[in-house]
Every structure is written in C-alpha cells, then in structure tokens.
C-alpha cells in the first residue's frame, strides 16, 4: 500500500495526513496565482547500507529561503524544522527507493497576488518512477523553443516559484507538439539559457561549458555539483555565454537537474550530437555521490533512517 502514490502520507500544515485529505482553498493565492516557492529534493536509496540519502539538503533550504525572500513571503520555519518535516514524512511512508521530495512554502487563505500571508508548508515525497516522462529517458532529442526564457527584469529565473513554470510549460508543450522530448530556451539576448526544468552543459575537446547564471538560469544545485565533480575528475569547466549554433556542433551535451539527473542530449533541432563518453562518466560519478558512495562527497548527503 505504501508504494501506491494515492495512498501516501504528506506533511501538510504541521501534520502528517493522507494525500487526499490535504485540502487547499481554491481561492488561495497559491492555487490562483502560483504564489509558492518550492524545492524538489532527490533522495537515493543505498541498498548496501540500507539507507536513504537526501542530496544537498542544506543547499536546497538555502535556495528555498532565497526564493521566499525574493517574492517577499516570510518563512515561519527554520532549516532545522524543514529538515525534520522531510525526515518525518519520508519515514512515515517507509520509502526504501529513490524518491523526490517536493517541499513547498505557499500563501494560503483568501487573498490576491499581492498577499504575503498566511504562509504554510507542504512536504510530499514522490517515487521517482512517478515523475514526468522526460526525466526517465536515457537520451534526449531536444529542440530550441521559439519561446524565450524569463529574465531577471520580469520574473527572475533565480526564483524557484510555481508561477515561473508557465514559461517552462510553453516551451515543453511546443517541444512535445513537434515530437521532441524537451526543449532548450534562448534568453532575451538570443543566447542559450536552460531547459524547462534542468540546466545545460556542452562538451568540446574534453572541456565542459555551461551558460552563466546571469544568462537566465536557475541557480541549480545539480549544475554546481557537476562543476565540482568534473573539477575533481580533472576536467576543465567554463561558465560563459553560449551561442545557439554551439548546440549544433558540440561533441557532447547533457541536461542536469535534481529530477533530470544527468541525461545525455542525442540531438538538437535534428543535429545529432556525437558521443556520450564524458557525460556517462559524469553521470556515474554524480549518482555515486548522490547515493552516498563517494567518501570525498559524503558531505553532500543526509541519512534519513
Ligand atoms: C528551470 C530549472 N532549471 C534548472 C533546474 C535544476 O535545478 P536543480 O539542479 O537545483 O534541481 C530546475 C529544477 O529544479 C529547473 O526547474
């Protein structure tokens, strides 16, 4: 029963409740205007240790609080409270598999887009096999979408809030309509930014290149992890502005994110990407680190049990 997602428990406004009993006011600012900030926190089951590890928990809570600050909602919880809620709800469900935990601060009550309280929290574990299709592929056929990425002067991509995902949605829907798995956005300046729910790296001559955060990119925890892992592997990593045509000529390219993990891109707009050699090495190293198997990177994981 606990593996049936319709039967799971979630942490909702301070209590552990059955997911179908977590009732939200349809007029609340979160329901009407997407007035919420959230994190998708990956947790990996380590079968040898019989342990579930949450990946870079403190970094997720730091970003959650930055997002809340930027849209001016007060978080009534400390990072310790948030961590306790996550551990409690995952333990209550007895999950012993890879999961993603959606931890959300939302504006409840009757209000408008200008409201800032009451702020409530939900923490919902989601088994990995139940997340969106494009996150469980071994290679991605992508397009450059005709939609532009949101920018720091309209709705900042730095803020991980529900409403920002309408931009992700229009790009993703266009990609699916055209027969692609997902898309890459260009920013207002016409330079490469990121995908709807993940960041991008290209690889040329063994060197990794990723767009700048200031080119319209979420401050991704996986992107930062890849940069650190690649550096440990002795690979050169550069953050710089990337042209669209570089997507068509690179040796390798991949998307990365908490849900995406590290997934190779096999083609962009019909231009085939060459190999996946280095991408595969990075993918393996990332998954080892996330499952708590890397002694040097054990600092990144928190044991749930
Ligand atoms: C738009 C966007 N970019 C990048 C990412 C990757 O961020 P992270 O690695 O922190 O999951 C995500 C996922 O959260 C995202 O939604």
Intrachain domains 5-129 and 134-290 with the same fold: no
Q: pLDDT digits over 52-75, tens only?
A: 999 999 999 999 999 999 999 999
Give residue 3's pLDDT. Answer: 60
Give residue 222's pLDDT. Answer: 98
Phi-psi region of 11 (alpha: psi -120 to 50; beta: other; left: phi over 0): beta
Give residue 2's pLDDT. Answer: 57
Mean pLDDT of 230-237: 97
* pLDDT higher than threshold 80 for residue 216: yes
Tell me which residue has tokens 């469900």: 93
Give residue 158's pLDDT. Answer: 97
Q: pLDDT digits over 11-20, tens only?
A: 999 999 999 9
Give residue 1's pLDDT. Answer: 45
Contact 194, 157 (CB under 8 A): yes
Mean pLDDT of 212-240: 98
Look at strands 15-18 and 9-12 and give their pairing.
Answer: antiparallel
Give residue 128's pLDDT. Answer: 83
HEC sequence for 102-164: EEEEEECCCCCCCCCCCEEEEEEEEEHHHCCHHHHCCCEEEEEEEEECCCCCCCCCCCCEHHH
Mean pLDDT of 268-281: 92
Q: How far is the CA of 252 from the centre of ligand 1 (A)?
A: 20
What φ, ψ does residue 7 adopt, rounded to 5°? Answer: -105, 5
- 258 CB within 6 A, ligand 1: yes
- 103 CB within 6 A, ligand 1: no
> What top-level class would CATH report for the domain 134-290?
alpha beta
So where are the chain's domains?
5-129, 134-290
| Mean of all residue pLDDT scores within the chain | 95
- 171 CB within 6 A, ligand 1: no
Residue among 27, 43, 161 at smallest CA distance from 105: 161
Q: How far is the CA of 158 from the centre of ligand 1 (A)?
A: 10
* pLDDT higher than threshold 90 for residue 274: no
State which ligand 1 atom lies nearest to the alpha carbon of 60: 10
Q: pLDDT digits over 16-46, tens only?
A: 999 999 999 999 999 999 999 999 999 999 9
Percent of the chain clearing pLDDT 90 (strictly above): 92
Mean pLDDT of 236-263: 97
Fold of the domain spanning 5-129: D-amino Acid Aminotransferase; Chain A, domain 1 (3.30.470)
Top pLDDT among 29 and 275 is at 29
- 221 CB within 6 A, ligand 1: yes
User: How far apart (Å, rounded) are the C-alpha atoms in residues 45 and 101?
Assistant: 13
Q: How far is the CA of 196 from the centre of ligand 1 (A)?
A: 8
Q: How far is the CA of 218 from the centre of ligand 1 (A)?
A: 6
Give residue 36's pLDDT. Answer: 98
């Amino acid at each position: 029963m606990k593996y049936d997602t319709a039967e799971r428990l979630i942490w909702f406004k301070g209590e552990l409740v059955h997911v179908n009993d977590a009732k939200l006011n349809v007029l609340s600012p979160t329901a009407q205007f997407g007035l919420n900030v959230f994190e998708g926190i990956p947790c990996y089951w380590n079968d040898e240790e019989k342990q579930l590890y949450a990946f870079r928990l403190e970094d997720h809570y730091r970003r959650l609080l930055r997002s809340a600050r930027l849209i001016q909602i007060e978080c009534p919880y400390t990072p310790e409270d948030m961590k306790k809620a996550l551990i409690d709800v995952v333990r209550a469900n007895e999950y012993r598999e890879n999961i993603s935990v959606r931890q959300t601060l939302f504006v409840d009550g009757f209000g408008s887009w200008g409201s800032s309280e009451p702020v409530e929290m939900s923490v919902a574990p989601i088994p990995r096999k139940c997340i969106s299709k494009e996150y469980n592929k071994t290679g991605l056929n992508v397009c450059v979408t005709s939609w532009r990425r949101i920018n720091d002067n309209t709705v900042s991509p730095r803020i991980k809030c529900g409403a920002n995902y309408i931009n992700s949605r229009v790009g993703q829907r266009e990609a699916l309509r055209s027969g692609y798995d997902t898309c890459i956005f260009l920013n207002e300046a016409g330079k490469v930014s990121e995908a709807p729910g993940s960041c991008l790296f290209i690889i040329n001559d063994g060197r990794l290149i990723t767009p700048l955060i200031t080119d319209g990119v979420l401050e991704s925890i996986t992107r930062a992890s890849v940069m650190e892992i690649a550096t440990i592997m002795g690979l050169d990593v550069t953050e710089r502005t990337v042209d669209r045509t570089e997507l068509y000529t690179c040796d390798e390219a991949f998307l990365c994110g908490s849900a995406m993990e590290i997934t190779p891109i096999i083609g962009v707009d019909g231009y085939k990407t060459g190999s996946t050699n280095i991408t595969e090495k990075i993918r393996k190293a990332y998954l080892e680190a996330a499952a708590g198997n890397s002694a040097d990177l054990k600092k990144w994981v928190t044991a749930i049990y």
